[in-house]
Structures are given as C-alpha cells and as structure tokens.
Chain A
Amino acid sequence: MLIISDVLRGHTETIILAHLINKDSYGYEINKAIQEKTQGSFELKEATLYTAFRRLEQAGCIISYWGGEETGARRRYYAITENGKQLYAENKTDWEKAKQLIDKLTGACTN
C-alpha cells in the first residue's frame, strides 16, 4: 500500500492537470473528485496539492483566479493553460511507456 501511494504521489501534477482539462476547479473540489474516483482509497494531502499547484503555476501550466462567491470564503480556482495541456499529454505518454515496461519487466516469464 505504501508503494501505491508513493507512486501516485509522483503523479500528483498529472492527476491535477487531468482534472483541470475538463473544467476549472479549486483545491477541495479536486481532492474530493480524486476520493470519489478511487472510492475513498486515495486522497491527496492538501499540502501536497498546494505544493503541486505552486509548481505548476510557476511553470506556466496553470493559472489561478479568485472566484466571486456570494456567500462564504472566496475560492481560488485554477485553469489549465496550453503549456499545461502539453505537459499533460507528455506525462500521459511517458506513463503509458513506463507502464508497458514495468509490465514486461515484472511479468512472469512465459517462455
């Protein structure tokens, strides 16, 4: 289990980008979506999430803006940029390749 969350943490940025491709979103909403998708077996710590946000923002992959909520606290929304979409596509192909390699390397010898 430890390994799974470590591997997942390495893909925090790609996971965030994948969510932002569909629509602009904010921290808690993204985390909630992750929990729902994984049936509660995985959630990001908020600190990890914000660190990834800052990194992505500095790299120009996402931009942030404050929502104009009528009630309660303002939300900071994030939106994906063209750079971000590109990074997402690259990370996705990288992951596919890695997955195939790992499958090959860890698979039992069939011949």
Chain B
Amino acid sequence: MNKKIKNYVDVLFSDIPRTRRAAELKEELLGNMSERFEDCIAQGKSENEAYTETVAGLGDVDSLLAELQPQIELKKEADFYRIRRARVTAISVAMYILGAAILIGFAWMTELNKGANEDSIMLLGVIILLVIVAVATGMIIYVNLIIPNELKPYLNMEEEDDSFGRTPIGHVFGLINSVMWLFITAVYLGISFYTMRWDITWVVWIIGAVMHGVLKVIYHLIEPAASKII
C-alpha cells in the first residue's frame, strides 16, 4: 500500500471521532484509492502522477466527513444518557455489594443463634440476594437498551461492548461466551446449594474469567484480522 495515500487519508480522518462508521469509511476509501493508484502505476505512470490522479479523483469529501462529526445537539443528548447510565450503573453495583452484605449478615446471624434453622435462614439470604441482583441487572440492561441507536457511537458502546468483533465468527464466539456465562452461573448456584459451601464456591467465577480469556485468545488466533481493527 502506498504510504503517501495512506498519509493523505489519515490526515483527512484526523479530526473525525473514531467510530466504527468512520473506520469503515476510511478502510473503504483507502482500499479503493490504493487500487486506483496501483492501476495508474501499472499503466506506466510515475508515482507522482498516480498520486495526483488518485487524490484528484476523490473529489470533495467534506460533506461525507461532516456526517461523521458529532453534532452538538446529539452530543448533548448523548451526555444526558451517559450521565444517567453512569448513575444507574453505580447504583446497581452498590446493590450487588449490598446483596452480598445481606447474605454475609444472614450467615453471621446463624452463627449467633445456633438453635435456628440454619438452612432456611441461608436460603432466605440467597433469595434476597437474587432478587436484588435481578433488579440491579434489569436496571443496567434497561438503561442500556433505551439509548437510541444513533447515539451509541458517541457513548463508545460499539467499540467497548464486543471483544469479539462483528464478523460471523465474532458472533459465534459472542454466543458461546454468553452461553458459557449462563452455564457458569448455573454451575455456581447448583454446586453452592448442593454443598452449601458458599465460602469456597465463588472460585467458579475465577474459572469463568479464565475461560473467557481463553475464548478471546482462541478468537484472535482464528481471526487475525480482528486484532488489527483501525
């Protein structure tokens, strides 16, 4: 690929927010321009002539690039959603911790009065924890779902959320990943209730995180292109 053309396109896009849309347009532009450049060279033109012709053939890209600029209005609106999402996420995380604290509190209570039915007190604690987790998770999902699609690029959602890219293989890995986490959750709850060894069963989550990492490594090995997204 010709360096000068790459530089030219890089400069064009230097002020453009790095959304997926911008990256795709850039890649498309660069690919087509490079091909044209190569064709000119193949026709026996000098590098300079080829470069001039290629750049001249581009025409006026201002309006095309303007579409990729965040408009002030959209930015303001995105800020509104960003602040709300931050708030809800913070509250939800606090709720998760509160749920765990309640569970520990119940465990402590069973320690204090030995006579009580330990299992049912612990069960009550777990149920409360699950209800809190359900509400908090629901809140997180909701606050993310209500964000309008056109604002998502401004909230870094597209880049952030998929460690597995948008290719067909990436989708398969994303699916495997979600199924794996569901499975791990089920295993965790299953083992924990069966053995009642809540003090040790949390290790399952660590195993889950390791499996997630392994999955990512495999994905990047299978699809080298994914690791060099602009």
Contacts and interface: CB of A to CB of B under 8 A. Distances in A.
A binds B: yes
Interface of A: 26-28, 31-32, 43, 45-48, 50-51, 54, 72-76
A76 B24 contact: yes
Interface stretch (B57-65, B91-99, B140-148): B57-65
Given A26-B31, A72-B34, A76-B31, 5 more contacts: A47-B59, A48-B59, A50-B61, A73-B1, A76-B24
A73 B27 contact: yes
Contacts of A31: 32, 57
A50 B60 contact: no
A50 B31 contact: no
Nearest to A45: B59
B67 interface: yes
Given A28-B36, A73-B1, A45 B28 contact: no
Interface in B18-66: 24-25, 27-36, 39, 57-61, 63-64
A71 to B, nearest CB: 11
Contacts of A46: 29, 32-33, 57-59, 61
A51 B63 contact: yes
Contacts of B35: 28
A6 B42 CA distance: 31
A32 to B, nearest CB: 8
B57 A50 contact: no
A51 B57 contact: no
Question: Chain B's interface: helix, strand, loop or mixed, by majority?
Answer: helix
B59 A74 contact: no
A68 to B, nearest CB: 9
A50 B36 contact: no
A43 B63 CA distance: 19
19 contacts: A26-B28, A26-B31, A26-B32, A28-B35, A28-B36, A45-B58, A45-B59, A45-B60, A46-B61, A47-B60, A47-B64, A50-B25, A50-B61, A72-B1, A73-B30, A73-B31, A74-B27, A75-B32, A76-B31
Given A28-B32, A46-B32, A54-B67, A76 B27 contact: yes
B32 A27 contact: yes
A31 B35 CA distance: 12
B224 to A, nearest CB: 12
Contacts of A72: 1, 31, 34
A72 B24 CA distance: 15
Contacts of B39: 32
